[in-house]
Amino acid sequence: MTDSKESIDLDRLRRQDHAAFEALVSQHHRPMVAVARAILGDSLAEEVVQEAWVSAYRNLPKFEGRSSIKTWLYTIVSNEAKTRLRKEKRLVALEDISQDGSVDYLDGDRFYGLSGHWKAPPPSWHMDSPDQLLEEQHLQKCIDYTLTILPTQQKAVFILRDIEQQALSEICNILEVTESYVRVLLHRARVKLMQVIDRYQETGEC
């Protein structure tokens, strides 16, 4: 028997120790809300996470540790969010793209493949003050609106990767897709958002 802190905590969690469970909630609640929000949207995210915590608590005695507790929790909340999405009849069909990662490069292929690096900056990007650009209230509203209308999986990948800074492997586990597909979805979401920024720079409108 090991005396590591992780093992002791897992033992307590499997026994459904109240204090250990509260510590688990404190550590993982906010990122779990982010996962639910990425899949489902803001309005139901908190409710879905509460349901996920109930499910997690009930199943802790059966947690075998084959994955990290974090991955296990993210899988639970992801499944809860997807189930709720289907119930709400808002499940968006998968985009017309193959799981092997093939992609039709958009907007002049600004990225180096799927790495996320620019070949060239947007034509009217103010390279001396990009932070000022992003802070403009109107542009932020345009970006926020664009996020709400992105296809479901594009939005989920963008939020999890570029906003929540989740690892690609974690996103694959959450969404149950391949890494190449995650990269494609991220590429498409970034291109769409950069098109919004370009248009705003040129016209002052979304």
Q: Are 77 and 29 in contact (CB under 8 A)?
A: no
Domain count, the chain: 2
Q: What angle is formed at CA 94 by the lines to CA 100 and CA 198, rounded to 5 degrees?
A: 90
Domain membership of residue 92 (yes or no) is: no
Asked if residue 187 and residue 125 are part of one domain, the reply reads yes
Asked if residue 74 and residue 21 are part of one domain, the reply reads yes
Domain membership of residue 204 (yes or no) is: yes
What CATH code is carried by the domain that includes residue 168?
1.10.10.10
H helices, E strands: number in the chain: 9, 0
List the chain residues with pLDDT less than 70: 1-8, 89-136
Amino acid occupying residue 152? T
pLDDT at 147: 82
pLDDT at 129: 54
pLDDT at 187: 92
pLDDT at 162: 86
Burial of 53 (0-12, 13-18, 19+ CB in 10 A): buried
Domain residue limits at 21: 5-87
pLDDT at 134: 55
Asked if residue 139 and residue 79 are part of one domain, the reply reads no
Radius of gyration, CA atoms only, the chain = 20
Asked if residue 127 and residue 72 are part of one domain, the reply reads no
pLDDT at 132: 59
pLDDT at 102: 44
What CATH code is carried by the domain that includes residue 42?
1.10.1740.10
